Amino acid sequence: MALYPPGERTSEPLDDRLRDDAALAEIELTSRLMIAASGAAEPLSQEEIDGLLGIAPDA
């Protein structure tokens, strides 16, 4: 048995059965909004939010 420094763990392959693409996409979109909002001097406009979410403006 190999010994590792405290707090260091070995990496095991991710089981694809545990992957949830919808949840990962939601986390990505939420992250984009949080980063943009934290760096904005004013509240984001609806157009800015739509752009971050990849929503096309109404034609």
In a domain, 11, yes or no: no
DSSP states of the chain = -----TT-----PPPGGG--HHHHHHHHHHHHHHHHHHH-SSPPPHHHHHHHHTPPPP-
In a domain, 10, yes or no: no
In a domain, 4, yes or no: no
**Can you give the residue range of the structural domain that contains 31?**
17-53
In a domain, 47, yes or no: yes
Is residue 15 over pLDDT 90? no
Q: Looking at the 3D structure of the chain, how many domains does it have?
A: 1
In a domain, 28, yes or no: yes
In a domain, 38, yes or no: yes
| pLDDT of res. 57 | 77
Higher pLDDT, 21 or 9: 21
In a domain, 31, yes or no: yes
Q: How do residues 20-46 score in pLDDT, each as one tens digit?
A: 889 999 999 999 999 999 999 999 999
In a domain, 35, yes or no: yes
